[in-house]
Structure 1
Amino acid sequence: MSNKKIYFASDQHFGAPTPEASFPREQKFVAWLDEVKKDAEAIFLLGDLFDFWFEYKTVVPKGFVRVLGKLAEIRDSGIPIYFFVGNHDLWMNDYFEKELNIPVYHDNKEFTFNNKTFLIGHGDGKGPGDKGYKRMKKVFTNPLSKWIFRWLHPDIGVKLAQYLSVKNKLISGAEDVKYLGEDNEWLVQYSKRKLETKHYNYLVFGHRHLPMILEVGENAHYVNLGDWIGYFTYGVFDGEKLELKTYSN
Structure 2
Amino acid sequence: MAKNIYFASDFHLGSPNYNESRKREERIVSWLNFIEPNCSELFLMGDVFDFWFEYKTVVPKGFIRLQGKLAQMADRGIKIYFFKGNHDMWVNDYFTKEIGIEIISDELIIERNGKKFYLHHGDGLGPGDAKYKFLRKIFRNPFCQWAFSILPPRIGLSIANGWSGSSRVASNKKEVFISEESEWLAIYAKEQLAKQHFDYFIFGHRHLPLDINLNENSRYLNIGEWINYSSYGVFDGEDLRLEYYSNP
Provide the TM-score with structure 1 as the length reference: 0.95
1:247 aligned residue: 245
Q: Letter of the aligned partner of 1:35 in structure 2?
A: F
Q: Distance in 2 between matches of 1:138 and 1:166?
A: 23
Q: Per-residue CA shift, 1:111-147, capped at 9, x if unaligned?
A: 1111011011101000111111111111211222111
Q: Is 1:105 equivalent to 2:109 in the alignment?
A: no
1:196 aligned residue: 194
Q: Letter of the aligned partner of 1:17 in structure 2?
A: P
Q: Distance in 1 between matches of 2:192 and 2:10?
A: 23
Q: How does 1:209-224 map to 2 (within 5 A)?
A: 209-224=207-222
Q: Distance in 2 between matches of 1:165 and 1:135?
A: 20
Q: Distance in 2 between matches of 1:248 and 1:175?
A: 21
Q: Is 1:154 equivalent to 2:153 in the alignment?
A: yes
Q: Letter of the aligned partner of 1:197 in structure 2?
A: K
Give 1:193 deviation, angstroms. Answer: 0.4
Local SS of the residue matching 2:37:
coil
2:32 aligned residue: 33
Q: Is 1:6 equivalent to 2:5 in the alignment?
A: yes
1:175/1:127 CA distance change after superposition, 3 Å: farther
Please give the root-mean-square deviation of Cα atoms over the aligned residues, in Å. 1.6
Give 1:175 deviation, angstroms. Answer: 7.6
Please tell me whether the aligned partners of residues 201 and 221 of structure 1 are also in contact (alpha carbons under 8 angstroms): yes
Give 1:220 deviation, angstroms. Answer: 0.2
Give 1:165 deviation, angstroms. Answer: 2.7
Local SS of the residue matching 1:112:
strand
Q: Distance in 2 between matches of 1:176 and 1:3?
A: 35
1:145 aligned residue: 144
Q: Letter of the aligned partner of 2:12 in structure 1?
A: H
Please tell me whether the aligned partners of residues 11 and 227 of structure 1 are also in contact (alpha carbons under 8 angstroms): yes
Local SS of the residue matching 2:214:
strand
Q: Letter of the aligned partner of 1:242 in structure 2?
A: L
Unaligned runs of 5+ in 1: none
Q: Distance in 1 between matches of 2:14 and 2:239?
A: 33
Unaligned runs of 5+ in 2: none
Q: Distance in 1 between matches of 2:24 and 2:67?
A: 14
Please tell me whether the aligned partners of residues 85 and 122 of structure 1 are also in contact (alpha carbons under 8 angstroms): yes
Q: Letter of the aligned partner of 1:47 in structure 2?
A: G
Q: Distance in 1 between matches of 2:20 and 2:2?
A: 37
Please tell me whether the aligned partners of residues 2 and 37 of structure 2 are also in contact (alpha carbons under 8 angstroms): no
Give 1:176 deviation, angstroms. Answer: 5.4
Q: Is 1:181 equivalent to 2:146 in the alignment?
A: no
Give 1:168 deviation, angstroms. Answer: 5.1
Match 2:205 to one of 204, 207, 211: 207
Please tell me whether the aligned partners of residues 16 and 22 of structure 1 are also in contact (alpha carbons under 8 angstroms): yes
Q: Distance in 2 between matches of 1:66 and 1:207?
A: 23
Q: Is 1:16 equivalent to 2:26 in the alignment?
A: no
Q: Distance in 1 between matches of 2:2 and 2:59?
A: 37
Q: Letter of the aligned partner of 2:198 in structure 1?
A: Y
2:120 aligned residue: 121
Give 1:162 deviation, angstroms. Answer: 1.9
2:223 aligned residue: 225
Give 1:239 deviation, angstroms. Answer: 1.0
Give % identity.
49
Number of equivalenced pairs: 245
Q: Distance in 1 between matches of 2:195 and 2:174?
A: 30
Q: Per-residue CA shift, 1:166-199, capped at 9, x if unaligned?
A: 3156xx9x98510121221111111000101111
Please tell me whether the aligned partners of residues 47 and 86 of structure 1 are also in contact (alpha carbons under 8 angstroms): yes
Give 1:3 deviation, angstroms. Answer: 6.1
Q: Letter of the aligned partner of 1:16 in structure 2?
A: S
